[in-house]
Amino acid sequence: MGACKECRAKQYQKWKEKNKDALRIYQRKWRKKNKKRLDEYMQQYKQEHSKEIKARNTANNHIVDIQPCELCGNPLAIKHHNDYSKPLEIRFLCRRCHWKLHNEKKEEVYV
Ligand SMILES: [Zn+2]
Ligand SMILES: [Zn+2]
């Protein structure tokens, strides 16, 4: 008791290291058990987002250079599509600006 955050983190690291194999087996078992559900989920996701996935793949294959966020300059930007039917027309946005943009769009739709 009374261990500080850092000590606890270290202890957890140690514990994880010691139980590496057990954890791996557990994860594998879990995945096996839930494979059907995961597959179903993936299938559903693919169906619902097929346009988006295709657009993202096309963009990833053709546009290799990542540019910084066009709104705030954050170098960790992702590719955002205004229109999934135009997979190569993208904007570079960081996660925060991207999230903001999508949120604003939602509002426009609902209002
Ligand atoms: Zn940004
Ligand atoms: Zn987006």
Q: Domain coordinates of the chain in residue numbers?
A: 5-110
Q: What's the pLDDT tens digit per position in 23-60?
A: 999 999 999 999 999 999 999 999 999 999 999 999 99
- Is the model's pLDDT at 2 over the cut of 90? no
**Of the bound ligands, which one is closest to the alpha carbon of residue 91?**
2
Q: State the alpha helices, DSSP H only, in 1-111.
A: 5-18, 20-33, 35-48, 50-62, 95-110
- At 97, the pLDDT band (50, 70, 90 cuts) reads very high
**Of the bound ligands, which one is closest to the alpha carbon of residue 104?**
2
Non-local (6+) Cβ contacts of 87 within 8 A are 54, 55, 56, 58, 59, 62, 81
Distance 90 CA to ligand 1 centre (A): 14
Non-local (6+) Cβ contacts of 93 within 8 A are 69, 70, 71, 77, 78, 80, 101
- Is the model's pLDDT at 17 over the cut of 70? yes
Distance 54 CA to ligand 1 centre (A): 24
Q: Which residue has the higher pLDDT, 54 or 4?
A: 54
**Of the bound ligands, which one is closest to the alpha carbon of residue 94?**
1
Single-letter amino acid code for the residue at 23: L
- Is the model's pLDDT at 86 over the cut of 50? yes
C-alpha to C-alpha distance for 96 and 73, rounded to whole angstroms? 11
**Of the bound ligands, which one is closest to the alpha carbon of residue 95?**
1
pTM of model > 0.75? no
